[in-house]
Structure 1
Amino acid sequence: MLALGMAWLVPLAWVVWTAFRPKGAALGSGWTWEWTLDNFASVWHTAPFAQYYLNTLLITSGVLTVQLVSLTLAAYAFARVRFFGRDTLFMLFLVQIMVPPDVLIFSNYRVLQELGLLDTKLGIMLPYFASAFGIFLLRQSFKQLPRELDEAARVEGCSRLRALWQIYVPLSRPVYVSFAIVSVSYHWNNFLWPLIVTNSADNRPLTVGLALFAKSTESGGQWAEVSAATLLVAAPMMLGFLLFQRQFVSSFMHSGIKG
């Protein structure tokens, strides 16, 4: 495991080292202790990375907010509400997990085109407002909670929605944390779908902005600037993992995934 970890760290260490090196010394064979922040300043002013950051934050937070509401309601219905065809409908949701998102790119693009949502933040977010994985994960957690909680809530005069928000949601907090980690990391790094949907810097996320910057003539062959831009994109996720590593591991251990 240590050997695999070291192998994974080699390209990351090279990117960090190159990002802080002067342009002339970035690919030089000599060893010097020179370092600079000019690469980051140049990247920040050459491309609209501030706008890319804002777009990415809006997309990831917007998708996660809608997902938490939709998967909570759907998971509760599949776990506690009896209705005709419930098991069949749930199996159809599980089938969606086996379908790679890239397979649906063309059909999703046609739908957005008809709705006039191309090159919009809403267009990037819309296909991900529902998550079959999240529904499955939360349904398993809801089913593990004792039904006596429902009976006690009804005796106290609670409606289904009140019992859901005051009993089920607080008791399933580790599952929500686990899903939030997966959702934020996926949509922060998502590249292909935003690349196809967006055409302007006003709606591009960081991943697409980084790819266009790396291919631009302004940064061609300037590995110090490309490394600095890469570090700008990856740093928030790496910093979040380092700060909340224990919470990440604990949330997955207690999320009920094994159920």
Structure 2
Amino acid sequence: MLLKKLNISQWLLYIGAAFWLVPLLWMTVTAFRPRQIALSPSFSLEFTLDNFARVWSAAPFAQYYLNTILIVVGVFLVQMITASMAAFAFARVEFRAKNIVFLLFLIQIMVPADVLIFPNYSVLKELSLLDTKLGVMLPYFASAFGIFLLRQMFKTIPPELDEAAVMEGYSKWQILWKIYFPLSRPTYVAFGLVSVSYHWNNFLWPLIVTNSVENRPLTVGLAIFAQSFEIGAQWTEVSAATLLVIAPLMIGFLLFQRQFMNSFIHSGMK
């Protein structure tokens, strides 16, 4: 009976995965098909790369890629520093009302980022940071999720290592980056994957903040491209542009799938 239940569960997972893959497969096939037969119900082995050439020349996707990479990498590097210091303080430094302050950080996880769009926009306007890459990144320089994840990992590290490091003359800063950081690499990988995928796909905030090609990320550029008058309902170009946007994340996941799963297992995430 248990074997039958397991088989049924596996089949349900396979069916769910198949339904999830249908739009992705349709988009991929459409991106490589000639325009005149793209929506034809008949199957053919005729494929082309002209759609990608037209997309690349019709919109500044190279600039969009550069903007997105700078934003994603910049946010993650700052998050890694701020989350590490805050997590170390909550895990190893004793101060008054520490649990209450940590609870306030956890509450931020339950607050949707979209709720803060108006106050964040007002702050950026006062700072003259609208339509800048820094303006896109600034609200995400601190991560409550990252603090929680790293704090839980830091608490599993034996405190005797801290005592031994103090005996060797290490400062708290040196203890954090020479002991805690190397021992927590799987957790940093897990957090990095979440941060990079989130900010690569982030759309609403960059759409509101940016107005120029020099600061616009891929998601906003794709939306403008898909709605442009020149493209209209030409599904081959839209599919090719979408594939260009999601391809780096898909390739990264396929190449590092094992590390992706192991990082969450080591970090205590199921």
TM-score bucket of the superposed structures, by smaller chain? over 0.9
- In the TM superposition, what is the alpha-carbon distance from 1:78 to its structure 2 partner? 0.7
- In the TM superposition, what is the alpha-carbon distance from 1:226 to its structure 2 partner? 0.3
Q: Does 1:118 align with 2:136?
A: no
Match of 1:77 in 2: 89
Aligned partners of 2:107 and 2:118: how far apart in 1?
A: 19
Match among 108, 127, 137 for residue 96 of structure 1: 108
- In the TM superposition, what is the alpha-carbon distance from 1:163 to its structure 2 partner? 1.0
Match of 1:138 in 2: 150
Match of 2:76 in 1: 64
State the secondary structure of the residue aligned to 1:95. Answer: helix
Matches within 5 A, 1:205-244: 205-244=217-256
Match of 2:212 in 1: 200
- In the TM superposition, what is the alpha-carbon distance from 1:33 to its structure 2 partner? 1.3
Q: What's the TM-score, normalizing by structure 1?
A: 0.98
Identity of aligned residues (%): 68
1:119-155 superposed Cα distances (whole Å, 9 cap, x missing partner): 0000000000000000000001111111100111011
Q: Does 1:127 align with 2:139?
A: yes
Cα RMSD after superposing both structures: 0.8
Q: What's the TM-score, normalizing by structure 2?
A: 0.94
State the secondary structure of the residue aligned to 2:155. Answer: helix
Match of 2:5 in 1: none
Aligned partners of 2:267 and 2:186: how far apart in 1?
A: 5
Q: What is the identity, as a one-letter code, of the residue corresponding to 1:203? A: N
- In the TM superposition, what is the alpha-carbon distance from 1:30 to its structure 2 partner? 2.9
Unaligned runs of 5+ in 2: 1-12
1:16-50 superposed Cα distances (whole Å, 9 cap, x missing partner): 10000111110123322111100000000000000
The number of equivalent residue pairs is 258
Aligned partners of 2:173 and 2:79: how far apart in 1?
A: 17
Match among 217, 237, 245 for residue 257 of structure 2: 245
Aligned partners of 1:154 and 1:124: how far apart in 2?
A: 40
1:219-238 superposed Cα distances (whole Å, 9 cap, x missing partner): 11110000000000010000
